[in-house]
Structure 1
Amino acid sequence: MKIAFYGSSLLSSYWNGAATYYRGILRALAAHGHEICFYEPDAFDRQSHRDIEPPSWCRVVVYEASPEGVRRALDGMRGADVVVKASGVGYADDALLAGVLAARQAQSLCLFWDVDAPATLADIRNDPEHPLRRALGSLDLVLTYGGGAPVTDAYRGFGARDCIPIYNALDPATHHPVPPDARYVSDLSFLGNRLPDREARVEAFLLRPAAQLADRRFLLGGSGWADKPCSGNVVKLGHVATGTHNALNASAGVVLNISRDSMARMGFSPATRVFEVAGSGACLMTDHWDGLAVFLEPGREVLVVRDGADVVEALRSLDPRDAARIGQAGLARILREHTYDRRAVQLDRLLVDTLAAKRAGLPA
């Protein structure tokens, strides 16, 4: 199949948490013989912060962030069997969705792929005239990268024909165990951009515990934290390129995942970092969210904390040998059940079957 995919960025993870998800799932999907073209706007200074060059398994078109650039990008969907409009492209999202629907061909699939379903659903729930809400009945399928039944039921309730989660996973070729790097040695590290519905949880799960553990070293990675008040034992790293994630994970006693408010409330929304950290063999600590045990077993494959006091207690009591055992158990589970190659088998079958069913129902 020919697939035209309109997303935020495949080439850059700068202010773009979906980058590793796009790379992992599309690389694995391309291995099934599909021809993929990814269209991304030249926006938010991402092109000067590229993590990768255009890969062999996907053609990438960078278009100008302007109405004319959008129009030219939409020309690329002609002849595609599957057209995907992702959430959070970041420039002219509504115009892109309208353009995709206007230019769609009867024999092709038209999908919306939501990489931040809790936030998207909150937007359309509060706005009956939201362009996506009005468009759902015209789309062939909605895909999400998480959310479970609360998300799929909500999308169907708003008029989607169907909604299927394609969960985050691990690309072992990109995220894997490496030796520690002295620059990133810490008792606990966290990597995540500063976002409104994450900041308060970072304060609760990282910054306040750090202030109570003055003898421990904490690393805070991600964009936007430069002016955030922190205790002196918190080292701010700024943006951390994807190629550095393995070293960052491998060098910490514990790596912390902190869900955004909306994803924690929705549940069944494992961030890419959950799989990246476990895939590196590091000891993962995460805040609690419903559905976690579907992916990793609490206490054996991942540490689970419900508040900052749990973080403090865990760091004070955790033996390095126990941390290593948790890291290895998590790595084994992720490699066994949660790789992008496994997700792509599911996605390939879904797209092939859905396209065949649609074409079988078209007039001769």
Structure 2
Amino acid sequence: MQPLNIVILGLSITSAWGNGHATTFRGLVRELHRNGHRVSFLERDVPWYASNRDLPQPPYCTTILYQDLEELKSRYASLVGSADLVIVGSYVPEGVAVGQWVVDTAEGVTAFYDIDTPVTLAKLEREDYEYLHPHLIAQYDLYLSFTGGPTLQRLEDVFGSPMARAFYCSFDPELYFPEAQRNQWDLGYLGTYSDDRQPPLQKLMLDAAAQWETGRFVVAGPQYPASITWPQNVQRIEHLPPAQHRAFYNSQRFTLNITRADMIRAGYSPSVRLFEAAACGTPIISDYWEGIDSIFQIGTEILISHSAQDTLRYLNEISEEERIAIGESGRKKVLAAHTAAHRATELVTYYNEALCRKQQAVPAKEV
């Protein structure tokens, strides 16, 4: 296949500060570049990212910073118009106006890349059209969704997307892999505080810690209220830079995954933390959501906890041999299906399918 000319209008690729989009875009674009495709990334130049750019010039794409919608339209119409594939990401500033301009301007395939699908759908239900309007969904040739399962059918049947496809998050195997484990903690959790995640964190970890006083637990992440009472055997780490995430996972016997409420309601929404922890060979104890068994095999690749008692049973009754085997099985699964390289290949496959659909639809429109 001939190399593609791809244009992405995304939240950010230059700064990972306060967002998970940059890491996702970096992995995908890097792998597209490795496969010979040409990528231009257009990013709104905003002050909070400008002062926190950890990768101002990614080596695998042409990065363009634009000031406002007017500059985007006046300077980059030919770039967008001539591209084989144009992708607009979720949370792009003025995303509705940007998206409408893209579908009106692009000659090639257009796609909406939803890195926040459960949040997006909840916003649409509230008639909050911050970056996507229902009428735009039908105009994009392709809807790339971080959520799979029944949500894809809903996007097509209810919102009129001509082609909605699962496009899960991914991890970088060059950054996440097993290291000599120190087993500093029996169970750890990495995540910023949120109101909806705190009750399951309390139930699945903190209550377990209170019942097992000699156990070693850790919670890493910012914004936890001072009002939280932490058991004495739970260590707190206020901020853990991404460069330290691999070492953090490799220092735990087990790691805990807690899922946002919107993601649980949607189902089929694996988080990047799941893949990163699994890539380190650390066995995962997770809350349950519909579709998790389509990502990992429960019992052999991931463990599901519904209570403090479930958590304690895993921590105290699983043998070291079985613990290591679960971690290795989880790692094999994500290496086989969830790297950034897999996503780059999937994107080209989806592009070809969308292009065929678009070409087949042209004569009908011309009649």
TM tier, smaller:
0.7 to 0.9
Which one has the largest radius of gyration? 2
> For the residues of structure 2 that align with 1:119 and 1:179, how far apart are their CA atoms?
38
**1:154 to 2:154 alignment:** yes
Cα pair distance change 1:52/1:253, threshold 3 Å: farther
For residue 138 of structure 1, give the secondary structure of its aligned residue in structure 2.
Answer: coil
Cα pair distance change 1:247/1:83, threshold 3 Å: same
Cα pair distance change 1:191/1:2, threshold 3 Å: same
Q: How far 1:327 moved relative to its partner?
A: 0.8
For residue 189 of structure 1, give the secondary structure of its aligned residue in structure 2.
Answer: strand
Query: What TM-score, normalized by structure 1, do the two folds share?
Result: 0.86
Map 1:185-196 to 2 at 5 A: 185-196=184-195
Q: How far 1:250 moved relative to its partner?
A: 0.5
**1:34 to 2:37 alignment:** yes
Q: How many residues align?
A: 357
The root-mean-square deviation of aligned C-alpha atoms, in Å, is 2.9
Q: How far 1:77 moved relative to its partner?
A: 2.9
The answer for the alignment partner of 2:306 in structure 1 is: 306
Query: What TM-score, normalized by structure 2, do the two folds share?
Result: 0.85
The one-letter code of the counterpart of 1:193 is T
Matching residue within 84, 91, 95 for 1:93: 95
Percent of aligned positions that are identical = 29
The answer for the alignment partner of 2:25 in structure 1 is: 22
> For the residues of structure 2 that align with 1:73 and 1:319, how far apart are their CA atoms?
62
For residue 180 of structure 2, give the secondary structure of its aligned residue in structure 1.
Answer: coil
The one-letter code of the counterpart of 2:13 is L
The answer for the alignment partner of 2:142 in structure 1 is: 141
Q: How far 1:53 moved relative to its partner?
A: 5.4
| Runs of 4+ that moved beyond 6 A | none
Contact kept, 8 Å, 1:74 with 1:100, in 2: the verdict is no
> For the residues of structure 1 that align with 2:308 and 2:50, how far apart are their CA atoms?
37
Q: Give ranges in structure 1 of 5+ residues lacking alignment.
A: none
**1:240 to 2:240 alignment:** yes
> For the residues of structure 2 that align with 1:307 and 1:108, how far apart are their CA atoms?
50
For residue 45 of structure 1, give the secondary structure of its aligned residue in structure 2.
Answer: helix
Q: Give ranges in structure 2 of 5+ residues lacking alignment.
A: none
Q: Residue deviations 1:199-235, cap 9 Å, x none?
A: 3333333333333333323222233236462413333
> For the residues of structure 2 that align with 1:205 and 1:94, how far apart are their CA atoms?
40
Cα pair distance change 1:54/1:243, threshold 3 Å: farther
Q: How far 1:22 moved relative to its partner?
A: 2.3
Cα pair distance change 1:316/1:133, threshold 3 Å: same
Cα pair distance change 1:97/1:308, threshold 3 Å: farther
**1:205 to 2:207 alignment:** no
**1:254 to 2:254 alignment:** yes
Q: How far 1:60 moved relative to its partner?
A: 2.6
The answer for the alignment partner of 1:277 in structure 2 is: 277
Contact kept, 8 Å, 1:77 with 1:83, in 2: the verdict is yes
For residue 286 of structure 2, give the secondary structure of its aligned residue in structure 1.
Answer: strand
> For the residues of structure 2 that align with 1:26 and 1:245, how far apart are their CA atoms?
22
> For the residues of structure 2 that align with 1:44 and 1:256, how far apart are their CA atoms?
35
